[in-house]
Amino acid sequence: MESKIRNMEEFAAASGISRPTISKYFNDPDSVRNSTREKIEDALKTYDYRPNVYAMNQNRKLTRNVGIVVPSLSDPFFSEIARNVERRCINAGYRPTLFSSHGNTEQEIEILENLLSMKPTGLLIAPLGRRSDVAAIEKFSKDVPTVLFDSLLADIGLTFSGSDNFQFGRMIVEYLCRTGEPPCFFEMKNPSNPNANKRREGYIAAMEALGHEPRVVSVAGEGWNFEEIGRDGGFEAIDRKAFSTNTVLCSNDRLAIGLLAACFERDMVVGHGENCSIRVAGMDDHPFSEFTCPPLTTIAQDYESISRYAVDSLFNSIEGVEIAEKVSLFEGKLIMRRSA
Amino acid sequence: MESKIRNMEEFAAASGISRPTISKYFNDPDSVRNSTREKIEDALKTYDYRPNVYAMNQNRKLTRNVGIVVPSLSDPFFSEIARNVERRCINAGYRPTLFSSHGNTEQEIEILENLLSMKPTGLLIAPLGRRSDVAAIEKFSKDVPTVLFDSLLADIGLTFSGSDNFQFGRMIVEYLCRTGEPPCFFEMKNPSNPNANKRREGYIAAMEALGHEPRVVSVAGEGWNFEEIGRDGGFEAIDRKAFSTNTVLCSNDRLAIGLLAACFERDMVVGHGENCSIRVAGMDDHPFSEFTCPPLTTIAQDYESISRYAVDSLFNSIEGVEIAEKVSLFEGKLIMRRSA
DNA sequence: ATTAAAACTTGTCGCGTGTAAAATTTTTGT
DNA sequence: ACAAAAATTTTACACGCGACAAGTTTTAAT
């Protein structure tokens, strides 16, 4: 059976249904009578017709296109959460398109501009953070329902979902203090992500609550090459004996991976065993943290909850459902491994 | 200055240029006179008009849309090469859209089906490999100019570009034999990627050429969780003393990272130093291999050349330029680090 | 200055679908 | 069995742009 169906009109003729009804079916299969739907789906099997996306969206108010923007797809954390978010959009009947800003302000703006011409129904964005053009994102969010995740930006967008980074710091500090010396905090000097600040604050608050003096070691470095920054900053910190205790809490797992490399190079044995000289912990539960040497103790972000809240609140809001809370923070889970 | 420009006609009126010329400008800014281009670009600054993508592509034969499909964006190797390919497409004036099959046959097919309705001008795909539906990809490639990279699939597509995996094996075997005991080969039993087979063959050929007996250790495991497979398979191999020499060449870096974790757990010191008990090498130069403990000796894939060839050959072929060679394999570069 | 070529304008049609209103048919509830 | 409601069909128009043809203006070459 050769399919010479070239448009909806011909398909309508072939299936014995009027074109507007076919159109209605493709917009929402449940909006037509059961008997009609069956007829259409039978015909669909015989002639493999698919509506022209461009013609469809030209006159449609609701394209059901959604953009997903993350700062960096090379970071497994973002590729994982992007995958999660993407899947949820598809399941909800939307058409997601994935973009990465590659850590670059101009690219983030460019993505939004290109997105505009796609008449998107919504946007799910994990902003770059400090480097984001807040005004541009805010302007965009006036035109298109926008939901932020991972990194909170002023008061932009319908909702925000992310981790309770303050709690992260508190939780792991308590664990580290309970099981050994109180930790120093290892971070980038100018973190691009506002979460880093919350984590530092959580660390400081927890240390003070436990009667310890906080000790923050900030190292230089720009961009998203966190492992390299962690390693090079680690060398420097080790060499100038910047860590006042034998325990280091890193602002994120990628920095920790770099620090582990630096410790290895300096022949420092990492872990909580007898012959170990330093304990290292991170935050995020990066997909590779399970396989470092030693495996990294960390706080796992709640990927599932974060992406669920982002997607649900976007689609609810599009479909007119009132949203209860604008900001939703999810707690992390302590992952105990051999590094601390 | 409020922009109430709703379509090209209104923008044409506002800028004092006729609509067909505006249309021509958006298709190729260099196709209009300098003075005209300036007028248009001036107007563009005043009224922020952008053509409707859907209306544009509806009647266009050449959409300049290209699809980029990779097996897994969670794998930093693919996210890196995808980024490289993406950038090249944009620079060539095309509109790339990135997709990940997530290691899943059905998703790979689904992506191609959805892509069809985007009237793509071309496709750049790194297929899943063994799990790919070869017939589906071949069918697609009949309709849309298609270029394969990374993983070669039968005789599909215009061109293929990837690494010379046979050479990878030979090069690193020679290095390892020169500097220590001949290596065993560590791999998955049923590799999803055909490159793994070429690498094994390269290993065997090189070993035989040097007068050593090849020793292949294949471990169980399905899917794309290579680190986990490498670690668990590593435990098993170590415990049953499957490695007949003190040197292990892993089929890829992610397996090697897993094996490093297993060695660490079994208190085996990895490296080429005095007190080391095992040497481990990988292949790919995965972005994290620089930060493992110890840093991983490996063969770097030539990302740049692979992506350049893929993109260039696609666009050349679209623009009617004859293609010299159908298959292009690029040599790897030995990256010597402390693990071997 | 002349002339041919290139660029532009005007006008018109087609693309494949959404969408609305009115007329008709089918289904549902009693 | 009948009326009311829901679903469908018919008809008609809109959407925003690409493509083309024929005529006009500008530019470049001699």
Residues A119 and A199 in one domain: no
Task: Give the helix ranges, DSSP H, for A222-252.
Answer: 226-239
Residues B173 and B289 in one domain: yes
pLDDT in tens, chain A (340 residues): 455 788 899 999 999 999 999 999 998 888 888 888 999 999 988 888 889 999 999 888 788 899 999 999 989 889 999 999 999 999 998 999 999 999 999 999 999 988 988 889 999 999 999 899 999 999 999 989 999 999 998 889 999 999 999 999 999 999 999 999 999 999 999 888 889 999 999 999 999 999 999 999 999 988 889 999 999 999 999 999 999 999 999 999 999 999 999 999 999 999 888 888 899 999 999 999 999 999 999 999 999 999 999 999 999 998 878 777 899 999 999 999 999 8
Residues A93 and A46 in one domain: no
Mutate which: A254, A257, A288, vs B, most B CBs within 10 A: A288
Distances (CA, A) of A336 to A97, A172, A238, A295, B293: 36, 10, 24, 9, 20
Q: Which bases of chain D come closer than 7 Å to a protein CB? A: 7-12, 14-21, 27
Q: Does the beta-carbon distance from B79 to A80 stay under 8 Å?
A: no
In a domain, B293, yes or no: yes
Q: If you count residue pairs, one on A and one on B, with CB atoms under 8 Å apart, how many are there?
A: 106
Residues B126 and B91 in one domain: yes
Q: How many CB atoms lie within 10 A of CB A252?
A: 26
In a domain, B339, yes or no: no
Rounded Cα distance, B103 and A79, in Å: 14
Residues of chain B contacting residue A294, judged by C-beta atoms under 8 Å apart: 264
Among residues A18, A37, A59, which one ends one of the domains?
A59
Residues A80 and A180 in one domain: no
pTM for this one? 0.90
Residues of chain B contacting residue A51, judged by C-beta atoms under 8 Å apart: 117
Residues B149 and B121 in one domain: yes
In a domain, A175, yes or no: yes
Q: Which residue has the tokens 């191999």?
A: B237
Strand blocks (E) in A74-208:
95-100, 122-125, 146-149, 160-163, 184-188
Q: Among candidates B122, B25, B181, which has minimal Cα distance to B316? A: B122
Residues A261 and A292 in one domain: yes
Asked if A227 is an interface residue toward chain B (Cβ–Cβ < 8 A), one would say yes
pLDDT of res. A319 = 80
In a domain, A336, yes or no: no
Q: What is the CATH number of the domain that holds B33?
A: 1.10.260
In a domain, B2, yes or no: no
pLDDT of res. B204 = 95
Q: How many CB atoms lie within 10 A of CB B211?
A: 8
A207: which 2 tokens?
């240390």
Asked if B260 is an interface residue toward chain A (Cβ–Cβ < 8 A), one would say yes
In a domain, A339, yes or no: no
Q: Does the beta-carbon distance from A53 to B117 stay under 8 Å?
A: yes
Residues B72 and B185 in one domain: no
Rounded Cα distance, A149 and A163, in Å: 9
Strand D proximal residues, A:150-209, Cβ < 7 Å: none
Residues of chain B contacting residue A52, judged by C-beta atoms under 8 Å apart: 58, 117
Which amino acid is residue B36, in one-letter code? T
Task: Identify which of A76, A228, A292 has the shortest CB distance to residue B76.
Answer: A76
In a domain, A250, yes or no: yes
Give the number of domains in chain A.
3
Query: A125-170: per-residue pLDDT in tens?
Result: 999 998 999 999 999 999 899 999 999 988 899 999 999 999 999 9
Q: Among candidates B193, B199, B227, B245, which has minimal Cα distance to B296? A: B227
Residues A152 and A275 in one domain: no
In a domain, B3, yes or no: no
A59-84 residues labelled b (16+ CB within 10 A) or e (exposed):
eeeebbbbbbbbbbbbbbbbbbbbbb
Which amino acid is residue A124, in one-letter code? L
Please determine, for residue B340, whether its predicted confidence score (pLDDT) is greater than 90.
Answer: no
Query: B91-112: per-residue pLDDT in tens?
Result: 998 999 999 999 999 999 999 9
Residues A169 and A296 in one domain: yes
pLDDT of res. B3 = 57
Q: Which domain holds residue B29?
A: 8-59
Read off the pLDDT band of B321 (50, 70, 90): confident
Q: What is the DSSP letter of B242?
A: -
A285: which 2 tokens?
């539960």
Residues A120 and A83 in one domain: yes
Residues A292 and A193 in one domain: yes
